[in-house]
């Protein structure tokens, strides 16, 4: 399969470049030039596969020139052997609503599903290429832990994770800083998440620096992450055995919900995709009325969705404009100037597939409380936003993606119900292990010097 950039589709790239680079040189995101569309009969053939087999079938569509199907299956099996659930994900119910639990991986959030796979893809790539790669990533909490767990101990790979000092939950931090492997480096920046993200961006755009260390990124725009996430939409659809299914997806960067859209355009009979946001509601304003103006980021109970510029939305813009990269580039310029209003014809197309809703802080707490009292289930605050959006839209029997284990966000659950979930037994040890991280100033040159001294 070949890929192009959303901002200039005149050049084609293969999967290897798409995976290792993440972002195209022109700043666009990679998208495939064509997609397999499953027929009804082909879908029936996938229906009874287990999670690993299904992953292999779906993912293989995108990278068959990179890895053979047999090797892919063993890579997938290895990736998901680290999960506490044999079938990787689990479907549970709250009343008629279904929860698709995606948090049974090593670091308790859905990011593990793609990240464990990506860690092994790097290892496979390096087994064929004599190179050393340095991954640098900024995190507001969940991505960093998932990436570290996926990369730790792998040869010819180092990982550097920047988190905002004192601004992530202690559980989130400890899942990263108690890892002992020598190829893991945690840096706490005196600043906020945007500062961390800006440092990583400026390290990437310093080509002399980034080439000198073979710098690579694993943030949510990486196509390899999207395809691994599309799999659980197929899996949930087959498990439920209904004719069509709608999904409510707690959203920040539009990555997870875009994976659902990908499943839909590959022929999976998805009815609606509900984009569920917290008070950082740019995507709700965009999808409900075309208003894509970003505002100041607010800190909320669901920090992994505290985002005001949803990177993966660019892929949707490209698709709804019939894969026209000129139009996409124009729109991205408007977004950069923070002056993009979605035109009526585009909005009509978006609203065929997407609905949206937003939950404020009080509503999020109320949902956690109500579900605890009525169903004895403790929801994490991100999942609560997904449940709230589905209820507000009266989608009472859809599937809500449950993106994090409630034990990761004890402040929110304590606030709502005076209770918090314990960490799973296998992870209890992180609570009292020694932590190892370096506090550095919010200064890109200092960070570069630190990274250089370690590679
Ligand atoms: C990252 C994250 C999200 C948002 O996912 P996107 O792909 O950015 O939309 C939602 N919930 C949790 C727990 C997360 O870690």
Question: For residue 25, what pLDDT is reported?
Answer: 87
- Please indicate whether residue 101, judged by its CB atom, sits closer than 6 Å to ligand 1: no
String of b and e for 244-282 (b: at least 16 CB within 10 Å)?
ebbbbbbbbbbbbbbbbbbbbebbbebebbbbbbbbbbb
Question: For residue 18, what pLDDT is reported?
Answer: 96
Positive or negative, the Cα torsion across 32, 76, 302, 174? negative
Mean pLDDT of 8-15: 97
- 111 flagged as catalytic: yes
Question: For residue 309, what pLDDT is reported?
Answer: 81
Terminal CA-CA length for the chain: 34
Q: How many residues belong to the chain?
A: 455
Nearest ligand 1 atom to alpha carbon 257: 9
Q: Residue holding tokens 């994770």? A: 161
Question: For residue 378, what pLDDT is reported?
Answer: 96
- Measured distance CA(359)–CA(392) in Å, rounded: 9
- Please indicate whether residue 252, judged by its CB atom, sits closer than 6 Å to ligand 1: yes
- Measured distance CA(250)–CA(252) in Å, rounded: 7
Under the banding of pLDDT at 50, 70 and 90, the label for residue 356 is very high
- Beta carbons of 254 and 333 less than 8 angstroms apart: no
- Please indicate whether residue 175, judged by its CB atom, sits closer than 6 Å to ligand 1: no
String of b and e for 205-217 (b: at least 16 CB within 10 Å)?
eeeebbeebbbbb
Q: Which of 372, 359, 358 is nearest to 415 (CA)?
A: 372
What would the CATH number be for the domain defined by 90-108+223-417? Answer: 3.40.50.1100
Q: What is the largest CA-CA distance in the chain?
A: 58
Under the banding of pLDDT at 50, 70 and 90, the label for residue 297 is confident
Structure tokens belonging to residue 432:
């009292």
Question: For residue 1, what pLDDT is reported?
Answer: 94
From the CA of 292, how far away is ligand 1's center (Å)? 19
pLDDT tens digits, residue range 156-172? 999 999 999 988 888 99
Residues 6+ apart with CB under 8 A from 307: 252, 253, 280, 297
- Please indicate whether residue 109, judged by its CB atom, sits closer than 6 Å to ligand 1: yes
From the CA of 256, how far away is ligand 1's center (Å)? 7
- Beta carbons of 344 and 262 less than 8 angstroms apart: no
pLDDT above 90: residue 141: no
- Beta carbons of 266 and 230 less than 8 angstroms apart: yes
pLDDT above 90: residue 15: yes
- Beta carbons of 416 and 368 less than 8 angstroms apart: yes
Gyration radius of the chain over CA positions: 21
From the CA of 250, how far away is ligand 1's center (Å)? 7
Pocket test for ligand 1, best of 108, 256, 282, 389 (most atoms within 8 A of CB): 256
- Please indicate whether residue 379, judged by its CB atom, sits closer than 6 Å to ligand 1: no
Q: Which is it for strands 291-292 and 215-216: parallel, antiparallel or unpaired?
A: unpaired
- Measured distance CA(15)–CA(7) in Å, rounded: 18
Nearest ligand 1 atom to alpha carbon 141: 15
Question: For residue 308, what pLDDT is reported?
Answer: 83
From the CA of 251, how far away is ligand 1's center (Å)? 6
pLDDT tens digits, residue range 68-125? 999 999 999 999 999 999 999 999 999 999 999 999 999 999 999 999 999 999 999 9
Q: Could you tell me how many helices (H) and strands (E) the chain has, helices first?
A: 19, 16
Mean pLDDT of 362-388: 97
Q: Which is it for strands 245-250 and 399-402: parallel, antiparallel or unpaired?
A: parallel
What pairs with residue 138 in β-bridges? 162
- Measured distance CA(401)–CA(417) in Å, rounded: 22
Question: For residue 260, what pLDDT is reported?
Answer: 98
- Measured distance CA(408)–CA(264) in Å, rounded: 31
- Beta carbons of 137 and 147 less than 8 angstroms apart: yes
- Beta carbons of 392 and 400 less than 8 angstroms apart: no
Structure tokens belonging to residue 222:
């990486």
- Measured distance CA(309)–CA(258) in Å, rounded: 14
- Measured distance CA(303)–CA(109) in Å, rounded: 13
More confident residue, 333 or 220: 333
- Beta carbons of 199 and 206 less than 8 angstroms apart: no
Question: For residue 121, what pLDDT is reported?
Answer: 98
pLDDT tens digits, residue range 240-286? 999 999 999 999 999 999 999 999 999 999 999 999 999 999 999 99
Helix (H) or strand (E) holding 143: helix 142-151
pLDDT above 90: residue 306: no
- Please indicate whether residue 220, judged by its CB atom, sits closer than 6 Å to ligand 1: yes
pLDDT above 90: residue 307: no
Structure tokens belonging to residue 175:
């899942």
Under the banding of pLDDT at 50, 70 and 90, the label for residue 63 is very high
pLDDT tens digits, residue range 426-453? 889 999 999 999 999 999 999 999 999 9
From the CA of 271, how far away is ligand 1's center (Å)? 22
Question: For residue 219, what pLDDT is reported?
Answer: 87
Q: Catalytic pick from 111, 174, 264, 448?
A: 111
- Measured distance CA(63)–CA(187) in Å, rounded: 33
288-292 contacts at long range (C-beta below 8 A, 24 or more positions apart) = 288/356, 289/347, 290/341, 290/342, 290/343, 290/344, 290/347, 291/341, 291/342, 292/335, 292/340, 292/341, 292/342
∠ Cα 161 218 105 (to 5°): 85
- Please indicate whether residue 254, judged by its CB atom, sits closer than 6 Å to ligand 1: yes
Under the banding of pLDDT at 50, 70 and 90, the label for residue 192 is confident
């Amino acid at each position: 399969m070949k890929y192009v950039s959303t901002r200039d589709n005149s050049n084609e790239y293969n999967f290897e470049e798409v995976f290792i680079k993440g972002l195209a040189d022109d700043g666009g995101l990679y998208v495939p030039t064509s997609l397999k569309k499953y027929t009804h009969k082909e879908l029936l053939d996938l229906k009874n596969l287990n999670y690993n087999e299904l992953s292999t079938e779906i993912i293989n569509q995108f990278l068959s020139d990179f890895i053979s199907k047999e090797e892919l299956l063993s890579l997938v099996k290895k990736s998901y052997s680290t999960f506490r659930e044999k079938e990787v994900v689990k479907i549970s119910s709250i009343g008629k609503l279904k929860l698709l639990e995606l948090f049974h991986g090593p670091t308790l959030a859905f990011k593990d599903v793609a990240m464990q796979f990506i860690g092994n893809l790097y290892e496979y790539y390096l087994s064929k290429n004599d190179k050393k790669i340095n991954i640098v990533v900024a995190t507001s909490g969940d991505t960093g832990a998932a990436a570290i767990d996926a990369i730790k101990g792998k040869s010819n790979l180092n990982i550097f994770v920047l988190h905002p000092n004192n601004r992530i939950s202690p559980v989130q931090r400890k899942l990263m800083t108690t890892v002992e492997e020598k190829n893991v480096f945690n840096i706490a920046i005196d600043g906020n998440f945007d500062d961390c993200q800006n440092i990583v961006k400026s390290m990437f755009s310093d080509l002399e620096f980034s080439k000198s260390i073979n710098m690579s990124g694993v943030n949510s725009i990486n196509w390899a992450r999207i395809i691994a996430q599309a799999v659980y939409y197929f899996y949930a659809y087959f498990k439920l055995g209904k004719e069509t299914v709608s999904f409510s997806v707690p959203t920040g960067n539009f990555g997870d919900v875009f994976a659902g859209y990908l499943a839909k355009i590959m022929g999976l009979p998805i009815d609606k995709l509900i984009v569920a946001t917290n008070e950082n509601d740019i995507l709700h304003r965009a999808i409900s009325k075309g208003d894509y103006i970003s505002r100041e980021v607010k800190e909320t109970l669901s920090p992994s969705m505290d985002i005001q510029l949803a990177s993966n939305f660019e892929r949707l813009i490209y698709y709804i404009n019939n894969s026209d990269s000129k139009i996409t580039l124009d729109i991205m310029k408007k977004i950069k100037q923070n002056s993009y209003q979605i035109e009526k014809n585009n909005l009509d197309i978006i609203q065929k597939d997407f609905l949206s809703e937003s939950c404020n802080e009080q509503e999020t707490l109320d949902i956690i409380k109500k579900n605890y009292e009525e169903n004895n289930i403790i929801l994490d605050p991100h999942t609560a936003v997904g449940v709230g959006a589905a209820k507000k839209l009266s989608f009472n029997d859809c599937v809500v993606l449950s993106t994090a284990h409630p034990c990761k966000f004890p402040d929110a659950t304590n606030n709502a119900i005076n209770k918090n979930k314990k960490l799973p037994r296998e992870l209890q040890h992180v609570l009292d292990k020694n932590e190892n991280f370096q506090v550095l100033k919010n200064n890109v040159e200092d960070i570069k010097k630190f990274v250089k001294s370690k590679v």
